[in-house]
Structure 1
């Protein structure tokens, strides 16, 4: 091996005729040891350095007097040299050129019970709720409840000024009564008119029948016969112009329509008058009051409802389940509910409703979510409406299953794998993932491999550790 530790500035000739000037002194300024006096590791390092230097300088003499672009060539050699150095770091090239066996960190394969859970947060609310609003432009004269009050269905919550509506009801009632009176008058006139028209038609019919006989006997002329025929037709038309119900003449349908419209207007005004007493539509608790005396009922600030009422006897939690997980959720599934207000305790829940349609998740995501309702079934719950709680659903579980940390599984093109160190060699075992826990997963062999407790599983698998490669456990 050539000695590259000559005195500073000395020039050396290379086999290819190229020259270089090398500087190599110790860190303290003294002469460095030569390769014969150096430790084996120093000699190995010196040899690598010498070969890299040789590779880089040889590029200057390529093609006899026609040097290539040094920057491009040197970069290629530097990359190759870098790979050599990296290989030397990983596998520790020995002085004899033999690659050392790599070491890997392993963990024992164990069995344990494992559970897969789905945990999602959502708002807590009553099972039945209603926002009480009014579209009547009337002043609020009286407020009968405050937040926190228990109310029953039909209970009066507030009273509005009804003066204008009482007047409108009277006007509408008068209009209705007038329409009814008009129809009754027209009914009477129509009945009498129809009765007379029927009589006239019957008389004209008899006259025309008699004249027909006289005409056949030659006692009257053709003109007399035609005159009686025209009278009969006029009487028929006069009778047919009447609207008849059950054999009796009645008023034109337009009068009945007038009565109907007037009745509708009266009913609407009466309903508005009744609604000046604002009532609760459900049994529950008043959770919000957004109005006050002196305001107009239809002009609540920020368009909020006058009152919000919820049935707090039964609470529900609404969560948004991803479309990728909804297949693991079903009605009747049990849930554990946690919230800050419970101070570390848990309450029971049950899935009672899954929406038949999905909706956008929001935030620019293309993922869809499905609203799902979980009912709180714990008696005397400490939860309250309006807070956020977290529901944990048990998706699936396995008993006495082989498990590994999530990081011990890697995916290849065809399968998921774990790597084990067996008899000093790396072995790839294809697996399928069973129950997916938070930090560990159940692994099931995808072939006829039989897993055994205590197998040395590579903690951080690396596809570079190929099947059959020799390896040692870390620490040896």
Structure 2
């Protein structure tokens, strides 16, 4: 309605102007001379008809931070006022920390005690492990002592038996035994030489790949057996010689029996000592396990103490309320001398270096927004227009069937406030690739929209099809109209088809207006 009213007023003004001009020019013209109508013209442009759609929005703080200390204490200081701008890390308020300091000292002392407990438990474990290791070494020595005592006992029995057997034998028998042992030794040595030669021959055959590994190993085993035979023969000879020597001496059977008994007792004592060592090892290992459990308990206690210290430090840090980010103080609760109970934020900050312009759009408007795109945002109250970025487009409608859209705009100079009215200006293409004429050039002749084309000082009436009309430009379709055609925009209501015209259009010097005239896209802005 407002657009039509303005248009009627403009048309009436043009009519009055051109009636006056026509009357002045016709005073000296005879009745036989054709009247020339002064007109103003513009060019037809080929392009797209666009326009800005204005969508109402409201600014909101980019984020709000509620500062809620986790302690209950008296408020000692409040260093800011509502509306103050603060920097990150700035101290905003201070709570009484006397009790918190004492609590932290107590927790730290408990932590140190827990560390000492671990040190003592680890020392106990090391001592138990050392005792267990000593007992295991002693057990190995006990096994050796048992074997040695057993061998001595067996040797004493053998000596006694031999003494009893040899007591009644003659020296001749002993000498024959020695001689026989010597012959056996010679035979064993010859057997060893034969086995070694056979082994060396087998080694050569094996190296030449003529016998198997198993056959070589059998030859080597034969050498070892021959060595054992030599050793056995040597032992037999030694025994025979000893036997001969013993026969040559006077036998003492009682002494030998005493040796056997003493060796038996030593053997029994060694076995008893081993049993005692095994008991000691079991006790030492149990002590190691117990010490390990004590260390685990001490570590658990130390971890609890560490957590308690951290909590006490956090509580102490909460006594000093700092700004986690730069922003503006939006709300305050509490004054110096009052008790803070932790039920509500002591301060609320708003980050105002950037704002959100939040609009609720219809499903049809939703297609105009895409996250990441830039849009123009106008703030009528401060007469400012800037560019913002679409940061959020709702995927579901609210209870009113509208879709919230958020556009982030920079507010580094803090000139904008949260809660003010904003307008999102969305450029929309109404008609693509059409002929664009000034809306004021289109008139209705005989019920059809038409324009006058001015060519060679003659006005030609051309019917057009209006595709879409906006306040400044109208998209039309016409066979007799082309890009660059000159059409009448002033004085057309005094024209008839074929009328003589004079183009009195003034050439504008303003470069900006000239650029707008040459722009291929045109349109208007929706209110």
For normalisation by structure 2, the TM-score amounts to 0.47
Q: Distance in 1 between matches of 2:361 and 2:286?
A: 70
Distance (Å, rounded) in 1 between the aligned partners of 2:143 and 2:429:
97
How many angstroms does 1:452 deviate by? Answer: 5.5
Larger relative contact order (CA 8 Å, sep ≥ 6) = 2
The structure 2 residue matched to 1:316, chosen from 348, 356, 376, is 356
Alpha-carbon shift at residue 375 of structure 1 (Å): 1.8
Cα distance 1:307–1:227, how it changes in 2: closer, same or farther (>3 A)?
same
CA radius of gyration, larger in: 2
> Which residue does the alignment assign to 1:102?
none
1:240/1:114 Cα in 2 relative to 1: closer, same or farther (>3 Å)? farther
1:215–1:225 Cα contact (<8 Å) kept:
no
What's the secondary structure of 1:310's corresponding residue? strand
1:387 corresponds in structure 2 to 420
2:113 aligned residue = 178
> CA offsets per residue over residues 253-273 of structure 1, 9 Å max, x none?
110110111111012112211
1:187 positional shift: 2.1
Tell me what 2:72 maps to.
Answer: 137
Match among 385, 389, 398 for residue 361 of structure 1: 398
Instruction: Find the counterpart in structure 1 of residue 98 from structure 2.
Output: 163
Q: Structure 1 203/317 Cα, relative in aligned 2: closer, same or farther at 3 Å?
A: same
Q: Does 1:235 align with 2:170?
A: no
CA distance in 1, matches of 2:73, 2:46: 73
Does the C-alpha gap of structure 1 residues 336 and 190 become closer, same or farther in structure 2, counting only changes over 3 Å? Answer: same
- Is residue 273 of structure 1 aligned with residue 316 of structure 2? yes
Which deviations, in whole Å up to 9, do the C-alpha atoms of 1:65-113 show, x marking residues without a partner? xxxxxxxxxxxxxxxxxxxxxxxxxxxxxxxxxxxxxxxxxxxxx9995
Distance 2:65 2:469 in 1: 41
Aligned match of 2:16: none
Picking from 404, 408, 422, the partner of 1:374 is 408
Cα deviation, 1:295-325, whole Å, max 9, x if unaligned, reads: 333356xx3x322223433333233555665
Q: Shift in Å at residue 132 of structure 1?
A: 1.7
2:125 aligned to which of 185, 190, 194: 190
Distance 2:278 2:148 in 1: 15
Distance 1:172 1:214 in 2: 63
Structure 1, unmatched stretches of 5+, are 1-109, 404-419, 423-432, 444-449, 455-476
**340 and 370 in structure 1: CA distance in 2 versus 1, 3 angstrom threshold:** closer
Mapped partners of 1:421, 1:223: distance in 2: 136
- Aligned pairs for 1:78-97 (under 5 A) are none
Please tell me whether residue 283 in structure 1 is matched to residue 326 in structure 2: yes
Give 1:326-475 correspondences, 5 Å limit.
326-342=366-382, 345-354=383-392, 358-363=395-400, 365=401, 369=403, 371-376=405-410, 382-396=415-429, 398=431, 401=434
Secondary structure at 1:312 match in 2: strand
Q: Per the alignment, do residues 168 and 437 of structure 1 end up closer, same or farther by CA in structure 2, a change over 3 Å counting?
A: farther
Deviates more, 1:229-238 or 1:249-258: 229-238
Which of these residues, 338, 341, 347, is aligned with residue 307 of structure 1? 347
Give CA deviations for 1:225-250 in whole Å, capped at 9, x if unaligned: 59736844751673376379xxx989
1:201–1:239: 8 Å Cα contact kept in structure 2? no
Please identify which structure carries the higher helix content. Answer: 2
Report the CA distance shift for 1:441/1:227 in structure 2 as closer, same or farther (over 3 A).
farther
Label 1:181 to 1:260 Cα distance change in 2 as closer, same or farther (>3 A).
same
Instruction: State the SS of the aligned residue for 1:271.
Output: helix
The Cα offsets for residues 350-395 of structure 1, whole Å up to 9 and x where unpaired, read as 225236x6355124x4x6x354333247x85743123242212224
Contact 1:191/1:250 (<8 A) preserved: no
- Return closer, same or farther for 1:350/1:238 CA change in 2, 3 Å cut-off: same
- Contact between 1:326 and 1:370, CA under 8 Å: does it hold in 2? no
- Residue pair 2:434, 2:475 contacting (<8 A) in 1 also: yes
Deviation of 1:207 after TM superposition, in Å, equals 1.2
Give runs of aligned pairs for residues 23-38 of structure 1, distance below 5 A: none
Q: What SS does the aligned partner of 2:352 have? A: coil
Partner of 1:465: none
1:354–1:336 CA distance, 2 compared to 1 (3 A): same
Q: Would you say the 8 A contact 1:127–1:311 is kept in 2?
A: yes
Q: Distance in 1 between matches of 2:308 and 2:469?
A: 65
* CA deviation map 1:371-422 (0-9, x unaligned): 4333247x8574312324221222445466479xxxxxxxxxxxxxxxx999
Residues 201 and 287 of structure 1, relative CA distance in 2, 3 Å threshold: same
Q: Is the 8 A contact 1:354 1:372 kept in 2?
A: yes
Cα distance in 2 for residues equivalent to 1:326 and 1:236: 81
